Amino acid sequence: MTDELQTPAYALTHLNPEGGVRMVDVSVKGLTVRTAVASGRVIVPPEVLRAITENQVRKGDVLTVAQIAGIMGAKQTSLLIPLCHHVNLTAVDLELKPNEETNSIEIRAYTKATGPTGVEMEALTAVSIAALTIYDMCKSLSKEIVITDIQLLAKTGGASGDYRKTPSRAE
């Protein structure tokens, strides 16, 4: 809260760590270009993977629907995550790759914006909504589907600097 509002008549009094929940003040942070890459996987039985890659799922083309759902989900991040600041994304890109060795669909999301806060949550939300969409479209084929390994691979920008998950872990 700005100094001029710190008199008892106007101030919030709980401005200490144990004062509950808040959307923390990011107004002093400068505007920088931020990017993030997140990944995740949806493990499916082999016959479901085949139905996806051969586009035989009754509801439609699983990978394309999931890709679009992920992009739209990224734009709703601040409405879904209670303490997440809204940011005007300048780019969102998703990649979904079937991997027959691991019986899974691998998802990567890339997000970008210029602002005071990072775009990690937007990338992670994109991955999560894309994964849920794959689940939804395949759930009539099998209930043995697992969404897993949703994590941040890399980020750039912001005061905390850049980050790369070490490749062994990122893989």
User: Is 85 annotated as belonging to a binding site?
Assistant: yes
Q: Is 141 in the site for a copy of itself (CB under 8 A)?
A: no
Least distance to a copy of itself from the beta carbon of 54, Å?
11
65: part of which helix (H) or strand (E)?
Answer: helix 62-75
Q: Is 16 in the site for a copy of itself (CB under 8 A)?
A: no
- Please say whether the beta carbons of 43 and 150 come within 8 A: no
Q: Which amino acid is at 104?
A: S
User: Is 5 annotated as belonging to a binding site?
Assistant: no
Q: Is 102 in the site for a copy of itself (CB under 8 A)?
A: no
Provide the β-strand partners of residue 91: 112
What is the footprint of a copy of itself within residues 149-168 (CB under 8 A)? Answer: 149-156, 160, 162-165, 167
**Residue 3 appears among annotated catalytic residues:** no
Q: Is 32 in the site for a copy of itself (CB under 8 A)?
A: no
Mapped onto helix, strand or coil, the DSSP state of residue 38 is strand
Q: Pairing relation of β-strands 32-43 and 104-115?
A: antiparallel
Radius of gyration for the alpha carbons in the chain, expressed in angstroms and rounded? 20
**Sole binder of a copy of itself in the list 47, 50, 53, 83 (CB under 8 A):** 83
Binding-site annotation, residues: 83-85, 121-122
Residues marked as catalytic:
136
